[in-house]
Structure 1
Amino acid sequence: MDRAVLRRRLALGLAVLTGSGLLSLALPGAAQAASAACSGRQVRTLSFAAGSVRVYRSNGYVCAVTVPARPGRPQAMSVSVQARGNRPVTDRGRYSQHAGPVTVHAGHRCVRVTGAVGTRTVSSGWILC
């Protein structure tokens, strides 16, 4: 193989690796944090004006995270998950990336998920029955 061809291939490989590294750094922190916060598969997304609540399920457990539409600055946020017949598990405070995760053991029971960013809220009603 010619040295010029080899150099071009190495340069292309280096450019691809550099681009993928920069792309991973450019992702919003909320997207990275929310996907790593809960285990299991995502079963619902409750969207509202100020953000969304992402709901995950795995082996009888339900987990939820509230992600703001505009992450970065600290703002009031909350997330709550309640299995039918039990008290809700809540995380609330001033966060810049996400509220939660909160996890409950639901088994095969219905759950209610609520989330808030600032004064905007969303509630699921009883789901995942």
Structure 2
Amino acid sequence: MHTVFVRPNLNYITIEDDGSRRKTDNEVLQYKDLVYKENKLNKRVIIQGEPGMGKTTLLSKFVLDWCEAASSESQEYSANFSDLETLKGFKFLFHLSLRDSPETSEVVKMIKTQLIDKMYADEDERKQVYTLLQHILKTENVSSV
């Protein structure tokens, strides 16, 4: 059973030469629009908006759709973003919250504190998983969302 999800209105924001930001009329309608620009993987994607506009819900839906795309060969599942095939290209997906890591901007540290440290109680296991994470980040295509 799948719950109802309404895709929020997402538009690209361009950063001008002077550092100012300008909202464009270009809408984000598919996952490909989020993670690629001109067929090149974005190394960093920032979802920005007012509180309560659906940023966390959107990213939670992204994770659910990624799980569905990875586990299903059929296209029976209906997603708001119609390109689940895009998500099949990713072996790993880390859902991180900037709100939960205000003291750092390093993705590796966020994964360690938000995921690894909460999932593994044993310090030796944490060290092993952290080492594995570093290997994954060096050898796989990685995009931070």
TM-score for the superposition, normalised by structure 2: 0.20
- Which structure is higher in helix share? 2
Which structure's relative contact order is higher, taking Cα pairs within 8 Å and 6+ residues apart? 2
Q: Which has the higher strand share?
A: 1
Larger Rg: 1
- TM value normalised by structure 1: 0.21
